[in-house]
Amino acid sequence: TPIIGVLALQGDVREHAIALAELDAIARPVRKVEEFADLDALVIPGGESTTMSKLAVSFGLFPALRARVAEGMPVYGSCAGMIMLADKILDGREDQETVGGIDMIVRRNAFGRQNDSFEADVPFAGLEGDDPIHGVFIRAPWVESVGAEVEVLARLSAEPYADRIVAVRQGNLLATSFHPELTPDRRVHAYFVDMVRATL
């Protein structure tokens, strides 16, 4: 049974923990350096990336997080978690640090004020079945551009945001702009847990 940490500095930790437990993984909230050592994988939840980043600095977590990513530990980030996995961000706070690991540029709050929050059906490559995922976007980022090693898993399909990239994978790192932890469909978490099981 994989032990999957959920970074519990800020954000929707509980919803991710519930989703993981439903898939027979052990979900463990983590916030201290010592707690990262025996994890098989990590989820970085949605929330507020500037706050999460600040807290990660004050808890001294960035070196341990980057080291585990470099070792190949699987990490899934939703929304603010996607921002945390981006090598580069746009419209971030001046000194906002990220863990990085995915060769992409992510734009924070990309959908603007009018569309602070919206929902859309998103075709998502590699999930069980052909049904799109119902994506909940809350002051969401989008992926502005990706490097050659990054696999694009999902793009929005309707105007005005058609073709905007909203889910990516690079190696053992997975990121979505939206929040599958807030809807009952568990296919994105199942995709991640399968990635984790493949490393055990």
Binding-site positions for L-glutamine read: 47-49, 108, 138-139
Indicate which residue of 34, 128, 134, 179 is catalytic: 179
Of the pair 78, 170, the CB lying nearest ligand GLN is at 78
Distance CA 135, CA 166 (A): 9
Q: How far is the CB of 131 from ligand GLN (least distance, A)?
A: 23
Indicate which residue of 15, 16, 181, 189 is catalytic: 181
Indicate which residue of 15, 16, 79, 189 is catalytic: 79
Of the pair 97, 197, the CB lying nearest ligand GLN is at 97
Q: How far is the CB of 84 from ligand GLN (least distance, A)?
A: 9
Of the pair 80, 104, the CB lying nearest ligand GLN is at 80
Residue 154 to residues 22, 32, 71, 110, 133, Cα–Cα distance (Å): 24, 33, 26, 16, 9
* Site residues for ligand GLN per CB under 6 A: 46-49, 79-80, 83, 108-109, 138-139
Q: How far is the CB of 34 from ligand GLN (least distance, A)?
A: 26
Q: How far is the CB of 132 from ligand GLN (least distance, A)?
A: 20
Give catalytic status of residue 179 as yes or no. yes
N- to C-terminal Cα distance for the chain? 9
Annotated binding site: 47-49, 108, 138-139
Is the previous residue joined to 160 through a cis bond, with omega within 30 degrees of 0?
yes
Of the pair 22, 48, the CB lying nearest ligand GLN is at 48
Q: Which residues are catalytic?
A: 79, 179, 181
